[in-house]
Amino acid sequence: MTTTNQKPTLLFVDDEERIVNLLRMMFRGEYQVLTATSGKEALEILAKHRVEVLVSDQRMPGMLGVELLTEARKRSPATMRILLTGYSDLAAIVGSVNDGEVFRFINKPWNHDEIKTIIRAAADAALATDASAMQADTTATAQGSDAADGPELLIVDDNPADREAIRALFNKDLATHCASSVSEALALLETRNIGVIVAEARVGSQDTGPLLRALKQQYPSITTVMLTKAADSDLVVKLINQVQIFRFATKPIRTGALQLAVSAAMKEHKRFRTSPSLLKRYGVAPSRELEDATLAASVLKSLSGLRSRLSRMLH
């Protein structure tokens, strides 16, 4: 791929011409802007140009946005991917994470300041890493490690039967730990070499979102698989943007899907260990809600051991 412009390149994809024209006008001063009105056309552009940020609508004839992001991830892994849509479709939202590894999810009609902030963050992240880092040999990271020294799995779920079912899936290959509350999870994070967390959105009366957000802000190499059983698209979008959930899995538990999700999350964690620059691609969005300062302070205070361990691993 080649480019003759030093400005970051954006590619907007929407089957409505007026939408891509509006986006071109909004961003052409600061960026090189390319547009397409179909997924096929977008892939042809990706084959010819280096693109830092791809923003695609979901509902397009011929190729859905999720399908485009999934194919773009294969062909241009260094490109940051954003899904733009005017409706709440949980399957599409979850698919954008599990298959397209979307950076952010933006609802139509968008807020002009918000979309500019998101695209600037995506462009900065793309410029901070390059294709060579994204395509680095993952053979070593894909190989299993001895349970004694390899990254471990933490399950956070208040349902004993579900915790045991998940633990049984992984404890032969991974050191696996279980927590039934946020406080138990914090204690295990402090003492164990956790690389991947499998968590419910709520554990008992507690929302795990603030904990996972604090962890992603301070310890972004830890990857999260979120279990979801409610068709709550607003919650899922918030978790994508503010927590950077790596994969979603549904309840009741589908064994094969959960195993694939955890395997991918563990490989990603190991990639972070070998290429710390990739962490810049997973910054969380600012929260519109009041930050839970007490919880954030508690996380930072209680996880001093985790900070020390990860510092040794990543530097």
Q: Three-class SS of residue 53?
A: strand
Greater pLDDT, 88 or 110: 110
Q: At which residue do the structure tokens 């972004």 appear?
A: 220
Q: What's the pLDDT score for residue 244?
A: 74
Give the pair of three-digit tokens for residue 210: 């603030």
The stretches of the chain forming alpha helices (DSSP H) are: 17-27, 39-48, 65-75, 90-98, 112-128, 131-134, 139-142, 160-170, 182-191, 209-218, 233-243, 255-274, 293-302, 304-314
The tens digit of pLDDT for each residue in 189-240 reads: 888 889 999 998 888 877 787 788 878 877 888 899 988 765 556 666 666 6
Kindly tell me if the per-residue pLDDT of 149 is higher than 70: no
Taking the whole predicted model, whether its pTM rises above 0.75 is answered as no
pLDDT band at 80 (very low <50, low <70, confident <90, very high): very high
Kindly tell me if the per-residue pLDDT of 179 is higher than 90: yes
- Domains belonging to the chain, first-starting first, are 9-134 (3.40.50.2300), 139-314 (3.40.50.2300)
Greater pLDDT, 190 or 81: 81
